Amino acid sequence: MELKRVVVTGLGAITPLGNNLAEYWNSLKNGVSGAAPITRFDAVKHKTKFACEVKGYNALDHFERKETKKLDLFTQFALIAAKEAILDANIDLEATDLYRAGVIWGSGIGGLDTISQEITSYVKGNFVPRFSPFFVPKMISDIAAGQISMKFGLKGPNFATVSACASSTNAIIDACSYIRLGKANIFVTGGSEACISAAGVAGFNSMRAISVRNDDHKTASRPFDTNRDGFVIGEGGGALILEEYEHAKKRGAKIYAEVIGSGMSADAYHLTAPHPEGEGAIRVMQYALEDANLKIEDIDYINVHGTSTPLGDVAEVKAIQKVFGDHAYKLSISATKSMTGHLLGAAGAVESIAAIMAINHNIIPPTINQFNLDPNIDSKLDFTFNKSKEREVRTAMSNTFGFGGHNATAVFTKIR
């Protein structure tokens, strides 16, 4: 069976760096930090008092008041990003076979804030079970995919992926696979997350996973720096329109890139820590190269997982050097989480968009907040520290690794 080609024809984003694609990319290439004091809740008693929130967000700018009562914030972000991507792709829904248009959406946690609010109300009400009828359909992780399909009438395959921080990369990979196999023509895919809540921040604090650099929050997300102390939690969403190549060409669609390959693996090692030698990361990148039928020399740029955690950054760099050998010194690397923070289940989507935009503009976004390189990390590698750079980007790789040892990699290339 000959596999179909899959291309990206639309993009949408709502992130800590900007509330649409253009704002997001402009901030990325200019090295803007999205970190700021938390406004979503009173964080005075929390160890961490800052995060990468979506700025200036008002739900009523996008939804009717009645709608907001039915939509957790992670679903609101999903609908906003999906709408922008559909408009960007210039899809005429009335002229589209909606039975061959689907949605696969990732979220690592789903409606955490909805759960927190309902449980808090339950306790304050002396444990009287007066839960909202929207409680369950607001908080379940699959509801964003369902809401997108209902909003736009998309009747093809529809489901959610949940693999912690790899969730939206897994969604992209699944959507690509369905199109490759001829089971659909178009997918809205990506992911969203909204976990900047009292429970979310406190939970990550208790794991010592997130930064406590309250006195210098703008530079707190500092991948590869010797003084990094954990990731900065972020929120938002990213959407991609994946389309079968001939279908896209027939309707004259703009094509950003081709999804040429992907890989998945498991560390099978630890609940939260990566394998110290990057074993799972090595295999996932190798699988992606094999699936894409590429040589290591074909990769120009890697948007790394790069969370700013002591163990994770070192393990990923070791993996890159193992996979790419001497070519590791010729490709460009950057960790855009230094700017966006860690969007958890949405990370893969917004970082895939960063990789695709790098291909389209031949600009490598930077890894900001680099002051003193960790001595365990090879200084000869090109991490694009502190300032973006221009270079030809034909093919880019995006890595995402999740709690539980989930590893996912997607590879994008200029259309040939």
The residue behind tokens 């248009």 is 101
Under a CB-based contact definition with an 8 Å cutoff, are residues 5 and 249 in contact?
Answer: no
From 217, 247, 275, 305, the catalytic residue: 305
From 217, 247, 342, 406, the catalytic residue: 342
Tell me, yes or no, if 165 is annotated catalytic: yes
Tell me the mean pLDDT per 10 residues along the chain, length 416.
Answer: 94 98 98 98 97 97 95 98 98 96 97 93 85 93 98 98 98 98 98 97 96 98 97 98 98 98 95 88 98 98 96 96 98 98 98 98 98 97 98 98 96 94
Say what the pLDDT of residue 366 is.
98
Pick the CATH number of 261-413 from 3.30.365.10, 3.40.50.2300, 3.40.50.300, 3.40.47.10: 3.40.47.10
Sign of the CA dihedral 41, 42, 47, 51?
positive
Cα separations in angstroms, 264 against 170, 338, 404: 8, 24, 13
Sign of the CA dihedral 351, 355, 357, 362?
positive
d(CA 195, CA 204): 10
Q: Which of 112, 14, 120 is nearest to 62 (CA)?
A: 14
Bridge partners of residue 395, in order along the sequence: 413
d(CA 287, CA 290): 5
From 165, 176, 195, 406, the catalytic residue: 165
d(CA 34, CA 218): 7
- What's the CATH code, domain 7-250? 3.40.47.10
Do the domains 7-250 and 261-413 sit in the same CATH topology, yes or no? yes
d(CA 303, CA 334): 5
| Helix spans in 38-161 (H) | 65-68, 73-88, 112-124, 135-139, 143-152
| Count of beta carbons in the 10 Å neighbourhood of residue 245 | 17
pTM of the model: 0.97
| Count of beta carbons in the 10 Å neighbourhood of residue 62 | 17
Domain-by-domain residue ranges, the chain? 7-250, 261-413
Q: Is 396 exposed, middle or buried (0-12, 13-18, 19+ CB in 10 A)?
A: buried
Bridge partners of residue 262, in order along the sequence: 410
Q: What's the distance, CA 302 to chain centroid?
A: 14
Bridge partners of residue 382, in order along the sequence: 332
Q: What angle do CA 43, 304, 158 make, to 5 degrees?
A: 80
d(CA 22, CA 12): 9
Sign of the CA dihedral 201, 203, 205, 209?
negative
The residue behind tokens 């669609």 is 253
Say what the pLDDT of residue 279 is.
94
Sign of the CA dihedral 222, 356, 342, 169?
negative
Bridge partners of residue 241, in order along the sequence: 10, 188
H or E segment and range at residue 239? strand 236-244
Say what the pLDDT of residue 416 is.
81
Say what the pLDDT of residue 125 is.
84
Tell me, yes or no, if 275 is annotated catalytic: no
d(CA 336, CA 347): 10
- CB-side exposure of 293: number of CA atoms within 13 Å? 1
Q: Which of 120, 1, 119, 17 is nearest to 341 (CA)?
A: 17
List phi, psi (to 5°) of 302: -120, 120
